[in-house]
Amino acid sequence: MSATEHDFGAFVAARATSLLRVAYLACGDEAEAEDLLQTALERTYRNWDRVRHDSPEPYVRRVIVNAAINRARRRAILRIIPMHSPPDLPDRATDTDLRRVLMDALRALPPRQRAVIVLRYWEDLSEAQTAEVLGCSVGTVKSQASKAAAKLRSALGRETVEGVIRNAHA
Residue 70 confidence (pLDDT): 84
Q: Cα(42)–Cα(33) distance, rounded to whole angstroms?
A: 14
Tens digits of per-residue pLDDT, 4-52?
Answer: 788 999 999 999 999 999 999 888 889 999 999 999 999 999 999 888 8
**pLDDT surpassing 60 at residue 86:** no
Confirm if 133 and 61 have CB atoms less than 8 A apart. yes
Residue 78 confidence (pLDDT): 47
Residues 62 and 115 in one domain: no
User: How many domains is the chain partitioned into structurally?
Assistant: 2
Confidence of residue 69 (pLDDT cuts 50, 70, 90): confident
- Direct distance between the N- and C-terminal alpha carbons of the chain, in angstroms, rounded to an integer: 41
Residues 30 and 91 in one domain: no
Residues 48 and 1 in one domain: yes
Give the residue numbers spanning the domain of 71: 1-77
Q: Is 6 exposed, middle or buried (0-12, 13-18, 19+ CB in 10 A)?
A: exposed
Residue 38 confidence (pLDDT): 94
Tens digits of per-residue pLDDT, 111-134?
Answer: 899 989 988 888 888 999 999 888
Where a domain ends, among 77, 102, 134? Answer: 77
Q: Cα(61)–Cα(118) distance, rounded to whole angstroms?
A: 11
Where a domain ends, among 36, 62, 77? Answer: 77
Which is nearest to 111 in space by CA: 83, 139, 154, 74?
A: 74
Residues 137 and 58 in one domain: no
- Give start and end residues of each alpha helix (H) in 76-137: 95-108, 111-117, 127-134
